[in-house]
Chain A
Amino acid sequence: MKKNKMKIWVGCGILCVLSVLISSWYAVAFNDSRLVVPTDFENYVFHAKDLPMIISVLITCIYMFAIAIRLFIKIRKRQKQVEETAVHRKVNPGLGFLGLFGFLGFAGFWTYSLNGTVYPFAFFLFFGFFGFFYEGKMSGTFMDERFRENADRARLKAYRITFEVMFVALVILCQGKLFGSLEHTLIAAIIILSLALASGLFLSEYLLYRYDHDGQTDEGEE
């Protein structure tokens, strides 16, 4: 994306945030906090003073929708470019640090004990993002037949491991209640499925890197 366009998008984002902040302040100061505090929309009656809040939220939604569409188009363009040039997409290896978000999964133990919420366990899935580290190392690599063959082999092995883990876990968990509690069974299922999918994401990149680089220490021009 050109720098000017980027500036326009960032500027629009800042304007959206500002409009929401200002309209929230207006609603709190002059409109009894309507639409700021949780609102029951079944009994909602429109007031003219609600307009700033409605408009700012609408603008922000449109902006986010536009961003999502732009992102989708960009991803499609990149995929097409990769197919045409046969060069692996460029990824910053630093994105691998996103895998650290996987530790958020441990928050599930805290939220479960607090109010019974179990969805944070799904954050274990983020461990799969450690694969970006290896994908980043393969950035810009020309994808010849050996590379494609290795990619298929890596993906196949990663998926096989993932499905084996999921299959074994499901067989065990479907036997009945874990520790005598259906909730514990659900938690175990979420954790195992998240970790299995994360390992699939990670292994497909890691194994590709390994297959491509194994025995490369003696790769001198002969």
Chain B
Amino acid sequence: MAEFVCRLKRYRQMKDLTQEQLAEKVGVRRETIMRLEKAQYNPSLKLAIDISRVVEAPIEEIFIFK
């Protein structure tokens, strides 16, 4: 199975957003953002696109499958 790496934390901090703020912007709970940052949860395509729009970074840069 492909290894999942998530660089969301780095991009979120670059945009000066807290987990709570990012969660609110993309319509999920803070816990979901936390799991994403720990690469414990695979987001849906919609959520991945929403996040990439908010942090203004390409999806393939944020979510990496090795």
**Which A residues are closer than 8 A to B by beta carbons?**
141-142, 144-147, 212, 215-216, 219, 221-222
**List of A residues within 8 angstroms of B43 by Cβ:** 145
Q: How far is the CA of A221 from the CA of B29 in the complex (A)?
A: 13
Does B58 touch A at the CB level, under 8 Å? Answer: no
Main secondary structure of the interface of B (DSSP, over half): helix
> What mask results when residues 12 to 23 of chain B are scored 1 for a CB within 8 Å of chain A, else 0?
000000111000
Chain B interface bracket (under 10, 10 to 19, 20 to 34, 35 or more)? 10 to 19
Q: Contact: B34 with A219, CB < 8 Å?
A: yes
**List of A residues within 8 angstroms of B46 by Cβ:** 145
Q: Contact: A145 with B47, CB < 8 Å?
A: yes
Looking at the assembled complex, report how far the CB atom of B61 sits from the nearest CB atom of chain A, in whole angstroms.
20
Q: Contact: B19 with A222, CB < 8 Å?
A: yes
Taking CB as reference atom, which chain B residue is nearest A145?
B44
Instruction: Give the A-B pair count, Cβ closer than 8 A.
Output: 34
**List of B residues within 8 angstroms of A212 by Cβ:** 31
Q: Contact: B27 with A146, CB < 8 Å?
A: no
Q: Contact: B20 with A221, CB < 8 Å?
A: yes
**List of A residues within 8 angstroms of B19 by Cβ:** 221-222
Q: Contact: B18 with A221, CB < 8 Å?
A: yes
Q: How far is the CA of A215 from the CA of B35 in the complex (A)?
A: 9
Q: How far is the CA of A142 from the CA of B32 in the complex (A)?
A: 11
Tell which of B9, B19, B30, B34 has the most Cβ of chain A within 10 Å. B34
Taking CB as reference atom, which chain B residue is nearest A216?
B31
The 9 A-B pairs of least Cβ separation, nearest first, read A144-B28, A146-B32, A144-B29, A142-B29, A145-B44, A144-B32, A219-B34, A221-B19, A146-B41
